Amino acid sequence: MSEIKITGQKRLVIVTGRAHPQLAEDIARELETEIVHTDARTFANGEIYARYDESVRGCDAFVIQSHTSPINEWLMEQLIMVDALKRASAKRITVVSPFYPYARQDKKGRGREPISARLVADLYKAAGANRIMSVDLHAAQIQGFFDGPVDHLFAMPVLLEHFQRQLDPATLTVVSPDMGRVRVADIWSDKLGAPLAIIHKRRDPLIPNQVSVHEIVGEVAGRVCLLVDDMIDTGRTIVKAAEALKANGATAVVVAATHAIFSDPATEILQSEYIDSVVVTDTLPVPEEKRWDRLTILPIAPLIARAIHEVFDDGSVTSMFDGAA
């Protein structure tokens, strides 16, 4: 029997689902590595199959998938890919979901409702994931749904860098579109050196994607208003907020969001006269037909790649955001 060699070297493996392959390619380029090819296909009856073209035994694997429409298909594909890695003896499996699926269903608002965000975490664990990495979770408590490490990344540094070059803090007001985003908007106002305003709104729990704006707390008249949110779905909520700001004397409304879900008819709605520009990241794919001249898409790959590097090297993901070790 030949002598066993112990090298102690870890091996990084990046694999991707079919939802947003460009993002995975950008991440791999940042890491100066290549994506391990997956033979992924969907059978005639809708069942999904995935097999890796090379050995993944003993590797540190990162499974990248963006949960765009059809979200259930891409979630299932990612679970199957994780299961394939587990059964192929990967040493550690990290689910990279820049946009966490079902994140808005994080609690029971009424009786007999599911907590689907918890269910997704349980599915990841059952499939064999050791770790989850996501960007701007809709609710921070989702971190507690998974029985293992959750790397909660923030897109704020990416967006802030853009706005620090584009906007003058002397005429700027940061606006929270609802009470739930006040803490995040407060950090934005602190970083940009601009005052904070809050929109108080009411949402009918029986009617999804619709909201009625009530009152604005803070000074917005004669100012450029930066509306900050974690996601834009149909765009109706954000346009209502922009309309209220313009009605109260705002000179311009700029919208910043991490996740561009852009469910139809978002593209048409967001081209409203009340919105001067929209800035998002590419955590989700934005096809050409959903782009317009006042939309700016910032790359999220450098941020995710750095976090993957820190996890792989047993470094500190926290230090990426607040300098703490």
Q: Which residues are catalytic?
A: 201
Q: Is the peptide bond before 157 cis (omega within 30 degrees of 0)?
A: no
Show the beta-strand stretches assigned E in 85-144.
92-97, 131-135
Residue 144's Cβ-count burial label (10 Å; 0-12, 13-18, 19+) is exposed
- DSSP secondary structure letters along 240-297: HHHHHHHHTT-SEEEEEEEEE---TTHHHHHT-TT-SEEEEESSS---GGG--TTEEE
Q: Can you read off the two tokens belonging to residue 87?
A: 């059964």
**H/E element holding 238?**
helix 236-247
CA distance 224 to 165: 15
Sign of CA dihedral 105, 196, 246, 170: negative
Q: Can you read off the two tokens belonging to residue 49?
A: 């199959």
CA distance 85 to 54: 11
Give residue for tokens 């990967």: 90
CA distance 15 to 30: 15
Count of CB atoms within 10 A of residue 104's CB?
Answer: 15
**H/E element holding 81?**
helix 71-87
Q: Can you read off the two tokens belonging to residue 86?
A: 């587990």
Count of CB atoms within 10 A of residue 245's CB?
Answer: 27
Name residue 314's amino acid: D
- What's the length of the chain? 325
